[in-house]
Structure formats: structure tokens, C-alpha cells
């Protein structure tokens, strides 16, 4: 991991990182920082020890923002860590500090309270990303309004709407990290941040939703997670809270009767993207739209009405192709004149979806939903309800491991469901044992090591 600290001759709020010996990290100055940045081709970290931008990195407006060395560094995957006053407010040129912000702000957002030298809020609090980074939130002087390209680290909720106090701005393959929007600086934490950022995986927080008051789950990166636990421990609630990030409120109401009597909140960080939703019985406010496919195994039939019909028709060729990978005997999936879904086999057997075995019917419905909605997140409640034969279940897992999605979560009470997936020995899979708001995470190898003498469904009962 390549890390350098920039130390200039002028600063605004902070010079702490540069005022103390830094033997463990390379220190660069006004001229050498350009050579260092140019030599980095992927993930590397540039920490600003002094909070004034050097003209050698940011010759704006002479050079367009995206052509400056600093932003080309981020475009290639570099990460800039900024601790101090407003980024790009001042520029250092020929050893002199000059104002820049009014003409040189490169971000699609602006901080508020810029001209006040006092806190806007005495208290900020962590987002789920702040919890993952083990950040210690402080007072907030220069927060910004939420923006789709921002990942909040800490937020201010004491105003009419949430503000982001410290944040990550995604740019190209890299990022700009705004840390400590107050005169406070913790140098040891800043030096630890590259390692923390590099290990970010998946974070989930559920607040004030059914049994969960402030429930957090932090995981290493994975693609498929299987959740095990006793009845009424909250497995389905976890899926539904995440499902609210997409437009699933009608489906949840149909199953549950209501969503939430108070104001609930879900935060999800996955694939270096942040999502948030707050919701009540009558109102839903999402930070961004994300396609989330929630499947209750007891109720997954696709209702082919006038709204869905055009999508079904345009999807049948792809549905046929995917089903054929499970069973080469399938020739074509089509709609009858009455808009009934039917399957034509190679031997010319022609059957309605309702004449198929329950496992085949479940598979066809799942693939149809997947092709129509093209979800980034898939949530399956009680996968055993699909009624798959073991061989079909194994093939289904192969399919899930190959598709292009950000996250798949599955709940189950079946040992077959977790055992057959563990046998795939995939690094993309984790098993989550949950009991009374506590949880444990296992890899496939750890599950296989326990499989012959331990039933994980009972192991989950012992987690405290």
C-alpha cells in the first residue's frame, strides 16, 4: 500500500501531520508530490498534512479540473484524504496562499456555514460507514447537503434535513475523503485510515423497524450471504428493511399488513455504494433508486398484467436461454394467447407453468423476475420453499455465483440450503448466524469443518 503525506508551506486549520516527525510515511512537498502522484497507477493514498492545495497539483482554471494531476490520480484509483478546513478554499502558489473556492470548487456540491468560524452543530453521529471505519464523530463546522456521489461518514441530524459532516466523494476509480470538518485532528487515526478504507466490506444498519432499535451488521466483502437463526429472531425483517431501499413497499404490505408504525431507517453500504431510506406507514424517502428484488418463497408467482406484460414478452428469449442452462430439454418459453406462461420442450411436449413440478415452477418464476427487474440486490426469504431437488439446488447456486449483482441474501431453516452452498467452497459466500441481535459470520471452509458434528441452526442459539 503506497501512502504519502503532502506538506506545504502554508495552511489554514491544520499542520499537525507535518509538524511532527513521520518516519513511517513518505513526505512529499510542492514539487515532489507531482512526481509521486504520476508514478502511482492504481490504489494509493495521498494525505494532506497541510490543508491548502498546491498549484502544482491543481492548476485551475489554467487546466480543466479532470486534467489536473490530482484528479487524474483519483481517476486511476488514487484516494485523497483531507483533514482541515474547506477543500480547495485556498491554493498555494509560489509560497503564497490565495483564495480559490469561488472559482475553483471542483465538487458538484458546496459546504454550508463556510463564513462562520464556529460549529454549525455541536454533535454529529456516524453513518453505517462511520461505524465500519470506527470513526469518532466530532462537532460539525462545514457540512454539505446529501449528494448521490457522496458516501457519508458522519452526519448532522439536528437540522430540518440530514447533512453530511464528513464524507467520501467517489471520483473515477478513486475517491476524495473529507475528514474532520472542524479544527480537531487525530493524526493517528488519519494515518490508520488507508488500511481502514481498504478493508471496507458490507455494512447494514436497521433502526426502529420491528424488533430492531439500532441493529448493525458489518461484514467482509461477499456476494451471497445465508442467514440462519431461530423463528422470530428477525431474519425476514432484515430482508424487508433492505428491500425498502427499492420499491417493495406494496409487496411487504401484502405479506405483513403494514410496514412501520413509526419512522424507520435502513442504511446499506455495498460495492462501495451507500444507500439510505427512511420510511413509515405512509411515507418513503430514499437517497437513491436501487433495484432490489424481494422474494417470499411462498408467494413468488409472476402476475402478468397489462403493466408487466411488455417486459415479460421482451424477456422470454433470455429466460429461455437461462432455463436451457439448467435443462437442455427446454426448447422455448412463451406466452399463450391468454397470456399464460408455457414451456415447450424439445420432444414437443407443451405444458403450462402450473403443470410443472413445484421446483421447476419456482425456478422459472425466479429467472423471469431476475430478467425483468435486473436487480442489483436479491433477497430470498426461506429458499427451501423453492422445493429444489439437491441437484437443482446445486445448479441454482452455480447460477447465483455467476450473475452480475452486488448482493444476495438468503434466509433459511434448512441444513441442506447452507450445506450445499458451503460445498461450493466459494470466497464469495458467507454464513450469518443470528440470535437476539448478536451475530457470527462463517466462511464456507468454517462451515464444512463443523458440518459433520454440528448443526449450525442450533449453534446460532448459543450466540450471545
Q: What confidence tens digit (pLDDT) does each residue in 24-83 have?
A: 789 999 999 999 999 998 899 999 999 999 999 998 888 999 999 999 999 999 999 999
Overall CATH class of domain 222-260+289-462: alpha beta
pLDDT(302) > 90: no
Q: Of 89-103, 144-158, 223-237, where does mean pLDDT reach its minimum?
A: 89-103
Please state, for a pLDDT cut of 70, what percent of the chain lies above it: 100
pLDDT digits (tens, 9 = 90+) for 394-416: 999 999 999 999 999 999 999 99
The yes-or-no answer to whether 2-198 and 222-260+289-462 have a common fold is: yes
119 band by pLDDT with thresholds 50, 70 and 90: confident
What nine digits make up the cell of 95? 509560497
Q: Looking at per-residue confidence, does 21 or 277 come out higher?
A: 277
CA–CA dist 446, 99 (Å, integer): 57
What nine digits make up the cell of 383? 429458499
DSSP code of 297?
Answer: T
For 33, 105, 185, the CA distances from 48, given in Å and listed in that order, are: 11, 17, 12
Element housing 444 (H / E) = helix 444-451
CA–CA dist 209, 259 (Å, integer): 9
CA 9 to chain centre: 39
What nine digits make up the cell of 165? 459532516
Phi, psi of 342 (to 5 degrees): -135, 155
pLDDT at 292: 96
CA–CA dist 444, 431 (Å, integer): 7
306 band by pLDDT with thresholds 50, 70 and 90: confident
Residues β-bridged to residue 367: none
To 10 degrees, what angle do helices 358-373 and 390-402 make?
10
CA–CA dist 186, 168 (Å, integer): 18
pLDDT(193) > 80: yes
Position of cell 470513526? 135
CA–CA dist 157, 262 (Å, integer): 17
pLDDT at 311: 87
DSSP 134-200: T-----BSS-B---TTEEEEEEE-SSSS-EEEEEEEEETTEEEEEE-SSS---HHHHHHHHHHHHT-
pLDDT(253) > 70: yes
User: What sign does the dihedral 75-77-78-79 (CA atoms) show?
Assistant: positive
Q: Of 12-26, 53-67, 115-129, where does mean pLDDT reach its minimum?
A: 12-26
Overall CATH class of domain 2-198: alpha beta
CA–CA dist 46, 427 (Å, integer): 31
CA–CA dist 219, 156 (Å, integer): 25
Q: What is the mean pLDDT of residues 242-252?
A: 93
pLDDT at 296: 94
Strands (E), 190-286: 202-209, 212-219, 224-228, 264-270, 273-279, 284-286
179 band by pLDDT with thresholds 50, 70 and 90: very high
Domain boundaries, the chain: 2-198, 222-260+289-462
Do residues 124 and 138 lie in contact, with contact meaning Cβ atoms separated by under 8 Å?
yes
pLDDT(174) > 90: yes
CA–CA dist 90, 88 (Å, integer): 5
Q: Which long-range contacts (CB under 8 A, 24 or more apart) does 114-120 make?
A: 114/86, 114/89, 114/142, 116/141, 117/141, 119/182, 120/156, 120/163
CA–CA dist 361, 349 (Å, integer): 16
Q: Give me the chain's average pLDDT, please.
A: 92
pLDDT digits (tens, 9 = 90+) for 353-387: 989 899 999 999 999 999 999 999 999 999 999 99
pLDDT(122) > 90: no
CA–CA dist 350, 210 (Å, integer): 46
Please state, for a pLDDT cut of 90, what percent of the chain lies above it: 71
Q: What is the mean pLDDT of residues 155-167?
A: 87
CA–CA dist 196, 9 (Å, integer): 29
21 band by pLDDT with thresholds 50, 70 and 90: low
For 237, 297, 365, 374, 429, the CA distances from 300, given in Å and listed in that order, are: 18, 6, 7, 16, 24
What nine digits make up the cell of 226? 445465508
Task: Return the SS3 of 90.
Answer: strand
Query: With a threshold of 0.85, does the pTM exceed it?
Result: yes
Amino acid at each position: 500500500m503506497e501512502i504519502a503525506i503532502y506538506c506545504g508551506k502554508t495552511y489554514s486549520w491544520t499542520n499537525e501531520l507535518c509538524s511532527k516527525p513521520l518516519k513511517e510515511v513518505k513526505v512529499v512537498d510542492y514539487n515532489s508530490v507531482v512526481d509521486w502522484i504520476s508514478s502511482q497507477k492504481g490504489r494509493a493514498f495521498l494525505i494532506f498534512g497541510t490543508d491548502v492545495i498546491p498549484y502544482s497539483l491543481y492548476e485551475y482554471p489554467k487546466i480543466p479540473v479532470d486534467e489536473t494531476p490530482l484528479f487524474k490520480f483519483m481517476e486511476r484509483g488514487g484516494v485523497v484524504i483531507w483533514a482541515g478546513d474547506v477543500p480547495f478554499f485556498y491554493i498555494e502558489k509560489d509560497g503564497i496562499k490565495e483564495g480559490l473556492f469561488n472559482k475553483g470548487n471542483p465538487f458538484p456540491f458546496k459546504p454550508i456555514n463556510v463564513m462562520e468560524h464556529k460549529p454549525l452543530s455541536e454533535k454529529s453521529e456516524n453513518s453505517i460507514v462511520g461505524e465500519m471505519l470506527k470513526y469518532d464523530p466530532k462537532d460539525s463546522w462545514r457540512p454539505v447537503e446529501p449528494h448521490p456521489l457522496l458516501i457519508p461518514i458522519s452526519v448532522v441530524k439536528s437540522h430540518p434535513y440530514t447533512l453530511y459532516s464528513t464524507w467520501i466523494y467517489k471520483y473515477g476509480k478513486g475517491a476524495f475523503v473529507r475528514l474532520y470538518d472542524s479544527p480537531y485532528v487525530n493524526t493517528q487515526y488519519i494515518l490508520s485510515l488507508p488500511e481502514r478504507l481498504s478493508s471496507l466490506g458490507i455494512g447494514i444498519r436497521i433502526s426502529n423497524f420491528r424488533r430492531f432499535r439500532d441493529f448493525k451488521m458489518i461484514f467482509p466483502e461477499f456476494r451471497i450471504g445465508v442467514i440462519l437463526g431461530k423463528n422470530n429472531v428477525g431474519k425476514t425483517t432484515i430482508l424487508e428493511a433492505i428491500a425498502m431501499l427499492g420499491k417493495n413497499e406494496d409487496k411487504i404490505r401484502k405479506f405483513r399488513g403494514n410496514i412501520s408504525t413509526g419512522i424507520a431507517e435502513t442504511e446499506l453500504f455495498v460495492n462501495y455504494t451507500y444507500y439510505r431510506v427512511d420510511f413509515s406507514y405512509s411515507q418513503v424517502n430514499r437517497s437513491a433508486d436501487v433495484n432490489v428484488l424481494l422474494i417470499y418463497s411462498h408467494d413468488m408467482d409472476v402476475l402478468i398484467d397489462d403493466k408487466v406484460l411488455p417486459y415479460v414478452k421482451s424477456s422470454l428469449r433470455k429466460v429461455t436461454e437461462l432455463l436451457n442452462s439448467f435443462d437442455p430439454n427446454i426448447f422455448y418459453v412463451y406466452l399463450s394467447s391468454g397470456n399464460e406462461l408455457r414451456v415447450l420442450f424439445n420432444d414437443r411436449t407443451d405444458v403450462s407453468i402450473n403443470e410443472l413440478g413445484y421446483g421447476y415452477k419456482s425456478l422459472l418464476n425466479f429467472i423471469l423476475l431476475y430478467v425483468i427487474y435486473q436487480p442489483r440486490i436479491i433477497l430470498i426469504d426461506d429458499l427451501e420453499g423453492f422445493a429444489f431437488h439437491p441437484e437443482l439446488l446445486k445448479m441454482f447456486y452455480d447460477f447465483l455465483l455467476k450473475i452480475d449483482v452486488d448482493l444476495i441474501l438468503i434466509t433459511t431453516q434448512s441444513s441442506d440450503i447452507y450445506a450445499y452452498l458451503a460445498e461450493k467452497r466459494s470466497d464469495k459466500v458467507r454464513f450469518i448466524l443470528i440470535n437476539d441481535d448478536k451475530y457470527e459470520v462463517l466462511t464456507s471452509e468454517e462451515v464444512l469443518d463443523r458440518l459433520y458434528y454440528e448443526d449450525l441452526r442450533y449453534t446460532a442459539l448459543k450466540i450471545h
